[in-house]
Structure 1
Amino acid sequence: MTKHTVLTDAYRVVWRWHFYAGFLVLPVLMLMALTGGLYLFKSEIEDALYRPLSRVEVRDQRVSPDRWVAAAQVGLGGQVSSVFVPERADRAVQVKVRTEGGKRTAFVDPYDAHVIGSIPGDGLMGSVKRLHSLELFGRPFNILVEIVAGWAIILVATGLFLWWPRRRDMAVALPRAGDPKRRPFWRDLHAVTGLYAGAVIAFLAITGMPWSAVWGDVFLAQMRASGLGRPPAPAAASPWGHSEHHAPAGSGWTMEGAVMHAPGHGPASLSIVIATVESRGMARPYTVSIPGDPSLAYTAARLTEAAEEARSLYVDGRTGEVKADARWSQFGIGAKAFEWGIAVHQGQQYGWVNRLLMLGGCIAVWMLGISGLVMWWKRRPRQRDGQIGLGAPFAPPGPRARAAVLGLVLPLAVLYPLTGLSLVAAIVLDRLVSVFLKSRSEFAR
């Protein structure tokens, strides 16, 4: 076998798996790209949607924050879990309330504690976020995020392998003039889009992993155990606890679920907590989480743009004593890396340049999906020609050809076990389909 033939065989095998990866995950990737692109403009969309609820008249003095809580609880008939304090003086505070019918967000005028109105849950963008992570469909679909992200990286790696110039073949770096009715036009569009957007797509896939239900939880636990994650609790305070039910809102990946005990006697007060938070110089906007367990401290988490602005204050609601003040400088190197990755992923870290770059990656996913679909349609199997199957590229036999694919995907399968399991399932399915199609072809003859 000549060197050129081996290279061609490897190319065909990689092409086959690039086809399968796209066939399996591009529809989900396109959904995630659409919802992710919308979420990049969360503040603008919410401002437009909820303007009648969020705008208030600025007056001389605000009423006690405890009155915000009381008004929301009476108005919506539930228990308050958190209060969002906006940056601007002409904006309503947003009070999250747990009711018998589910969570709702009340918009409360901070100057007179009037409940202007309410929306279900976290509103439209909350639903978009849950759809983006597939949590809207339940935990099994959130697990699918990890598999899809892993296959997205496989798509980028195999796509780069296919694009790489070989001997007489010149790699396409710019779109070439062509007829949109013909397949080469769409092939060039697909290749150029993948070339320039592949790194962004791979980055989005990798930095989206902390939200996955298996890998993200395991990695987060390892960061905590190794000292590379959240800072140690202050010596004078109780150790960090972990609670899913009373998890502080808006505290970020590093402090997610972290709670601290503040045992004491007497009623707690949001007014005391907010007075302490502002005296400690925490910049607005921030969210104060009110724990349902009276033995836990209140948590104030700053809503940040850049990762290094992260800060969480743990305050005793009875005395105003600060139990912990967790800042970026105290985070471990692993936590800093992931907080930075998440901030870039969400288009926040570097302003509009960051946001537009992530938006470009989302648009590129759709361009790749559409161009890939058109290419498949133009070379799809036709019954009249005696062709059957999905139209996947032919995979020549030989261990050296298969080694090309294993060299690309095996490291990812080790790093992301669910992707590895799905890869094994795909290989088994591929073999079964090949055997079925072969037997069907022999039967037809």
Structure 2
Amino acid sequence: MSQTPSKPARNGLSDAYRAVWRWHFYAGLFVMPVLMLMALTGAMYLFKPEIEDAVYRDMAVVQPGARTVSPDRWVASAERNGGTASSVLVSDRPDRAVRVTVRQDGESRIAFVDPYSAALNGTVQGDGVMGVVKGLHSLTLLGKPFNILVEIVAGWAIILVATGIFLWWPRWRDAAVAVPRAGDPARRPFWRDLHAVTGLYAGGVIVFLALTGMPWSAVWGDKFLNVVRESGLGRPAAPPAASPWAHGEGHDAPAGVGWTMENAVMHANGDHSGHVMPSLSRVIRTARAEDMPLPYTVSIPSDPTLAYTVAHAAVRAEDARSLYVDGVTGAVKADIRWSQFGVGAKAFEWGIAVHQGTQYGWANRIVMLSGCIAVWLLGISGLIMWWKRRPSRGGLGAPTAPPGPRARAAVLGIVLPLAVLFPLTGLSLIAALALDWTIRRVRR
């Protein structure tokens, strides 16, 4: 005899509730460790300027002088131990060294050069400490294929929030709490309330972080970027007098230009017969004449026929600006500003700036940090709740799978739209359903 799905089961929980609870449990079990790693590294990246200033202070701080030397001497100093300079970060502070990224034999290093004397103050291998943090955050430090986990984890993070709201929602029983109720931390209800309230107030921030992190994912991010570009909602068209956009990879990919102009390069039209060589000094003179605000990054292409790219290190999305300058003549090939971006590009550039905590100052940073802390609170409280109700005979102790189509419909109604929107999340859902079916067959 089957039980009516709409009625509560004998333990006081409806079939739909137990089904959603089961998937909430599994999603947290498999996704939360990676999500906690991303929250930790994301919280560190919010304080990137402060961390770098503390770590590299001995190399980064210089004594301001009357005038800087030729920028070409900065490059020569950075290349003293071999390699080729690919970009130069010019600070907006007069007491800071310029940072020259040098590539050699497939590796890279950052050289700190005194802009007033061209003295080499020191070097850092790779992309520095924050490069390691960023690699961990995007999971590319474990290998580029691991970047696909960003999309999977982000999709399941949204599922966690959605199923959590379903479980929190007030019903015939007292399940919804807006503030933690007084209780004994040694007992499970205390941690259940803390878990529920944290998810209630931080769920929106967590979903926002997951969605705005998608542009960095290996599959969805690239596909969506192409759609936005091809629909005319992304990067602006090249100026009529300039060459069309080209795609730059590796050394030629411009640095600091943001998501919209990623890999966008432009051919220069100057004399490249070898009589006049491209010059960083000439490019920086043009940037100063065009009132390019500091700080900015100058990308030095390995292909001499490509234009140099000068990208403002904007704090707010609407301050984005990129100059494309002929390194031979110093002529401006393109001056790309926020007003020229399509609506899709503006939306994502704004989302990324908020994601990184820079768009609205300290208030923005604190809200994003609260989301990162909430992920850890949710993970720890969930682990404690599981520990207090773990089965004495071993096993995961997942909520039992209830029978009936309504129970399955409750789960699919939450996760299926997200699985369609994020294909890799959908594939992982199919794998999870197969695993769940196998577990239930083995138990029978």
Q: Is the 8 A contact 1:307 1:349 kept in 2?
A: yes
Could you tell me how far 1:99 is from its partner in structure 2? 1.9
Residue 307 (structure 2) aligns with: 297
Q: Is the 8 A contact 2:323 2:335 kept in 1?
A: yes
User: Structure 2: 5+ residue runs without aligned partners?
Assistant: none
Give the TM-score normalised by structure 2. 0.96
Residue 178 (structure 1) aligns with: 183
Per-residue CA deviations over 1:14-70 (Å, capped at 9, x if unaligned) read 000000000010000000000000010000011111111011111111100011011
| Aligned counterpart in structure 2 of residue 215 of structure 1, from 213, 216, 220 | 220
| Aligned residue identity for 2:6 | K
Residue 285 (structure 1) aligns with: 295
Residue 249 (structure 1) aligns with: 255
CA distance in 1 between counterparts of 2:297 and 2:7 reads 62
Matching of residue 379 in structure 1 with residue 385 in structure 2: no
Matching of residue 414 in structure 1 with residue 420 in structure 2: yes
Could you tell me how far 1:390 is from its partner in structure 2? 1.1
Residue 33 (structure 1) aligns with: 39
Per-residue CA deviations over 1:322-358 (Å, capped at 9, x if unaligned) read 1111111000000000000000000000000000000
| Aligned counterpart in structure 2 of residue 19 of structure 1, from 15, 25, 36 | 25
| Aligned residue identity for 1:276 | T
SS in 2 for 1:191: helix
Residue 195 (structure 1) aligns with: 200
Per-residue CA deviations over 1:164-216 (Å, capped at 9, x if unaligned) read 00023241100111111111111001001000100000100000000000000
Residue 143 (structure 1) aligns with: 148
Matching of residue 427 in structure 1 with residue 430 in structure 2: no
SS in 1 for 2:396: coil
| Aligned residue identity for 1:288 | V
Residue 404 (structure 1) aligns with: 410
Could you tell me how far 1:316 is from its partner in structure 2? 0.2
Matching of residue 4 in structure 1 with residue 26 in structure 2: no
Matching of residue 71 in structure 1 with residue 71 in structure 2: no
Q: Is the 8 A contact 1:72 1:108 kept in 2?
A: yes
Q: Is the 8 A contact 2:239 2:334 kept in 1?
A: yes
Residue 102 (structure 2) aligns with: 97
CA distance in 2 between counterparts of 1:72 and 1:140 reads 32
| Aligned residue identity for 1:206 | L
SS in 1 for 2:14: helix
Could you tell me how far 1:4 is from its partner in structure 2? 3.3
Per-residue CA deviations over 1:347-390 (Å, capped at 9, x if unaligned) read 0000000000000000000000000001111111211xxxx531
Residue 340 (structure 1) aligns with: 350
CA distance in 2 between counterparts of 1:124 and 1:368 reads 28
Q: Which runs of 4+ in 1 moved over 4 A?
A: none
Residue 441 (structure 1) aligns with: none
Residue 271 (structure 1) aligns with: 281
CA distance in 1 between counterparts of 2:105 and 2:262 reads 25
CA distance in 2 between counterparts of 1:236 and 1:101 reads 36
User: Structure 1: 5+ residue runs without aligned partners?
Assistant: 439-445
SS in 2 for 1:178: coil
Distance 1:163-1:321 versus aligned 2 partners, 3 A rule = same
Identity of aligned residues (%): 71
Matching of residue 81 in structure 1 with residue 91 in structure 2: no
Bigger Cα displacement from structure 2, 256-265 vs 48-57: 256-265
Matching of residue 120 in structure 1 with residue 125 in structure 2: yes
Could you tell me how far 1:2 is from its partner in structure 2? 6.6
Q: Is the 8 A contact 2:5 2:407 kept in 1?
A: no
CA distance in 2 between counterparts of 1:252 and 1:423 reads 32
Distance 1:287-1:400 versus aligned 2 partners, 3 A rule = same
Per-residue CA deviations over 1:212-234 (Å, capped at 9, x if unaligned) read 00000001111111100000000
CA distance in 1 between counterparts of 2:359 and 2:135 reads 22
Matching of residue 166 in structure 1 with residue 171 in structure 2: yes
Q: Is the 8 A contact 1:389 1:437 kept in 2?
A: no
SS in 2 for 1:228: coil
Could you tell me how far 1:100 is from its partner in structure 2? 3.1
Distance 1:2-1:119 versus aligned 2 partners, 3 A rule = closer
Could you tell me how far 1:3 is from its partner in structure 2? 3.5
CA distance in 1 between counterparts of 2:148 and 2:173 reads 43
Could you tell me how far 1:77 is from its partner in structure 2? 1.1
CA distance in 1 between counterparts of 2:237 and 2:126 reads 33
Could you tell me how far 1:434 is from its partner in structure 2? 1.4
Matching of residue 239 in structure 1 with residue 244 in structure 2: yes
